[in-house]
Structure 1
Amino acid sequence: MTEKLKISRTDDAYERLRAEIRTNSLSPGYQAPEAEYAMRLGMSRTPVREALIRLEAEGLVELKPRRGARVLPIKAEDMQEIYELLKAIEPEAAAELAQRGLEDADRRALQKALDGMRVALAAKDLDAWAKADDQYHVSLLEAAGNQRRKAFVMHLYDQAHRARIITLRLREMPEKSTEEHAQILDLLCRGEADKVRVVFREHRERAARELLGILDTFRLQQL
């Protein structure tokens, strides 16, 4: 029972710290001793320390002996590597899904996320748009199957999310991105594997160009 409670507290600490890092509530470069993180969460140091070890393995924090943990800065070169991986993995997952055929439940999940993006876009609610965009990509990975691939890509999403949130308001409204998501869903429904692979890759390439251009201009990697 004690062991289960410890695991539960560690998971809770992990999820809460991960959410604060992803949304930049804990900003890039923030550094504090473990005791301060524990106080922030209202928890003991042990589950917080274990949560920070997990976050370090995922590339979100750096543990520094006797100095606690530092939220890693956003670096353009890191984002470049992440998007190179996404461009290689996601289009293939979409092509596999198109070739296999989209189940009704998966189509509904993707359509719901797309509808959410359109509603958010009309309301100019960028936070809601980003949430719906995340759900679209997660739904596609879930539909494609392969849990190891999904887990790996989710780690990449976590590392890229902070940069996306910071730069989202420095770009034009994501009308083009919403259109591309609609095109991808249409190709998935029609089972056009080769075309969806191309469109998805172009979608990620364009997003990477926009994000990296802003990071270079504003030098956000120095935060």
Structure 2
Amino acid sequence: MMQQRAHILSGEQKPRSQTQRAASELRRMIVSGELPAGSSYLETELAEMLDMSRTPVREATLMLEAQGLLEVRPRRGVKILSISPEDMEEIYQILTELESLAAERVAERSTSPEMLEPLREATQRMEDALARDDREAWAAADEDFHTRLVELSGSARLKSVIANFNDQVRRARALTLYIRPAPTKSNADHRALIAALEKGDAALARKIHREHRIAAKSLMISLLSKHGFHQI
């Protein structure tokens, strides 16, 4: 299995179209519930379902494992991971307060326009990705925005605590990324936050980001509940 992982990371893959097709189809099957949370499958079973060879399926499962959708278990196939709306409710409550504090601290630090450039760049990448309907690129840029925001707060403790929760948020995002509405509001929220940070308005920065995270939490929990994801 370690050799397989090294194979993936080195970029020495089978034709990308096959691996990507397998990953896309498996993701769809997980999100739709066709592969229910908590269920387990052998590699050969998945290959038969997708009507393709085991190699692209193996590579696809490693990709989806990195996204938190499933667990690859050596010699035992894969297990579809579950997620709880109740867990997300609690996680987002904590993240909302911590990241809002981070936004407030950034505004208070008298940041220069140059310091905020990574936030502008990430937001532009989000808008570019949305324009071409590339949800994965949008999610990567959005995650980069939030990571950079916390880093700019200058608090190593905030960064450490928030990082502990982000792995679980990534998994929920992967499950809902393709069933959520186009995230135009998130992009607009980021632009508004940057404007508040540029003015050094700490109260406004905190308010904008808090409302942004609350809206994200409501959407996430709604999608998880609607599509039947639950803890097993």
Judge same fold: TM > 0.5, yes or no: yes
Map of 1:85 onto structure 2: 94
| AA matched with 2:230 | Q
Q: 1:153 aligns with which of 162, 172, 184?
A: 162
Give the conservation status (yes or no) of the 8 Å contact 2:82–2:231. yes
Question: 2:205 corresponds to which residue?
Answer: 196
Question: Which residue identity lines up with residue 136 of structure 2 in the other structure?
Answer: D
Which amino acid is the alignment partner of residue 75 of structure 1?
S
Written as runs of structure 1 = structure 2, the 5 A alignment for 1:49-60 is none
Alignment length (residue pairs): 186
For the 8 Å contact 2:113–2:198, the answer to whether it is kept is no
Answer yes or no: is the 8 Å Cα contact 1:106–1:139 preserved in 2.
no
Q: Which of 180, 190, 201 is the matching residue for 1:171? A: 180
- CA gap of 1:169–1:71, structure 2 versus 1, over 3 A, is closer
Q: Give the alignment partner of residue 107 of structure 1, picking from 91, 116, 140.
A: 116
**Could you tell me how far 1:106 is from its partner in structure 2?**
2.7
The one-letter code matched in structure 2 to 1:187 is A
Q: Which runs of 5+ in 2 are unaligned?
A: 10-25, 31-36, 42-57, 60-68
Identify the structure with the greater helix proportion: 1
Q: TM-score, normalised by structure 2?
A: 0.67
Code of the residue aligned with 1:181 in structure 2: it is H
SS of equivalent residue, structure 1 residue 133: helix
Shift of 1:105: 4.1
Q: Distance in 2 between matches of 1:110 and 1:127?
A: 18
- Runs ≥4 residues deviating over 2 A: 27-32, 69-72, 103-106
Q: C-alpha deviations, 1:151-198, integer Å up to 9, x for none?
A: 211121111111112212212100011100110111111101001111
Counterpart secondary structure, 1:106 = coil
How far is the alpha carbon of 1:71 from its aligned partner?
6.9
Q: Secondary structure at the match of 2:230?
A: helix
Contact 2:104–2:202 (Cα < 8 Å) also in 1: yes
Structure 1 residues 105 and 221: alpha-carbon distance in aligned structure 2, compared to 1, 3 A threshold: farther
Q: What is the aligned partner in structure 2 of residue 139 from structure 1?
A: 148
**Which residue identity lines up with residue 197 of structure 1 in the other structure?**
R
**Aligned counterparts of 1:72 and 1:145: Cα–Cα separation in 2:** 34
Alpha-carbon distance between aligned partners in 2 of 1:213 and 1:118, rounded to the nearest angstrom: 24
